[in-house]
């Protein structure tokens, strides 16, 4: 991921294995940022090492493709210490991953950490559930939830730049 700077944010999306939700969020956010002309660094990771080096789940690839987004080139990786310095904003897809991120965050890391849905008024504190054990309809539902949230993040960055804050609901 390109490091964020004073002029543009660097966003990291985090789920468990980095093959379903976080690559979908990366792809959806990249598309939304491109449409808005927003300069931003974008990446996705997992808190677990289950799928390091693997492409996204085929269902995630299909649903993203249905929505005009190509995530086929992404490969799973696990979160690293340097992510807390290169990202300006780290978005967890659910509370378990949020807790995992916080447990490994260095005290001097600069990234703001929040749930992705904390960017959406009325959805603060709500997880985006893992569709891994579901079917394609579950992936479609998750895609809709993710796109609603990333669109809200893009709007905030356009309005506030790198200083955009995404306060956590009660954790």
Q: Specify the pLDDT at position 64.
A: 99
pLDDT tens for each residue of 104-130: 899 999 999 999 999 999 999 999 999
- Residue 30 annotated to the active site: no
b/e map 129-147, b = 16+ CB within 10 Å: ebbbeeeeebbbebbebbb
d(CA 119, CA 163): 14
Catalytic choice (43, 94, 130, 151): 130
Q: State yes or no: pLDDT of 84 exceeds 50.
A: yes
Residue 141: active-site member = no
Neighbour count for residue 37 (Cβ, 10 Å) = 7
Question: How high is the mean pLDDT of the chain?
Answer: 94
Q: Which residues contact 79 (CB under 8 A, 6 or more apart)?
A: 12, 14, 45, 46, 47, 101, 104
Global pTM exceeds 0.85: yes
| Annotated catalytic residue 130 | yes
State the average pLDDT over residues 90-103.
Answer: 97
Confidence band for 93, pLDDT divided at 50, 70 and 90: very high
Domains (range + CATH), the chain = 10-161 (3.40.50.2300)
Instruction: Using alpha carbons, list the distances in angstroms from residue 7 to 16, 58, 113.
Output: 30, 35, 19
pLDDT in tens, 16-42: 999 999 999 999 999 999 999 999 999
What would the mean pLDDT of 97-105 be, rounded to a whole number?
Answer: 94
Confidence of residue 6 (pLDDT cuts 50, 70, 90): low
The pLDDT score that the predictor gives to residue 171 is 44
Residue 78: burial class (beta carbons within 10 Å; 0-12, 13-18, 19+): middle
Of 23 and 171, the one with more pLDDT:
23
pLDDT average, residue stretch 95-102: 96
Helix (H) / strand (E) containing 171: none
pLDDT for 165:
85
C-alpha span between 95 and 23 (Å, rounded): 18
Q: Which of 20, 21, 43, 94 is catalytic?
A: 21
35/108 Cα distance (integer angstroms): 34
Reported as a pLDDT band with limits 50, 70 and 90, residue 1 is low
| Selected catalytic residue, list 15, 30, 59, 118 | 15
């Amino acid at each position: 991921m390109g490091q964020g700077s004073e002029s543009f944010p660097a966003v990291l999306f985090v789920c468990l294995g980095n093959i379903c939700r976080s690559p979908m969020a990366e792809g959806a956010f990249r598309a939304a940022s491109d449409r808005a002309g927003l300069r931003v660094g974008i990446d996705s990771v997992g808190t677990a090492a289950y799928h390091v080096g693997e492409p996204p789940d085929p269902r995630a690839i299909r649903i993203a493709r249905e929505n005009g987004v190509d995530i086929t080139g992404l490969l799973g990786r696990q979160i690293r210490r340097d992510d807390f310095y290169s990202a300006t904003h780290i978005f967890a897809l659910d509370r378990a991953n949020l807790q995992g991120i916080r447990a490994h965050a260095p005290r001097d890391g600069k990234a703001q950490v929040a749930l992705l849905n904390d960017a959406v008024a009325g959805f603060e504190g709500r997880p985006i559930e893992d569709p891994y054990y579901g079917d394609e309809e579950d992936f479609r539902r998750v895609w809709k939830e993710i796109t609603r949230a990333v669109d809200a993040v893009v709007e905030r960055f356009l309005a506030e730049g790198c200083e955009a804050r995404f306060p956590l609901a009660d954790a």
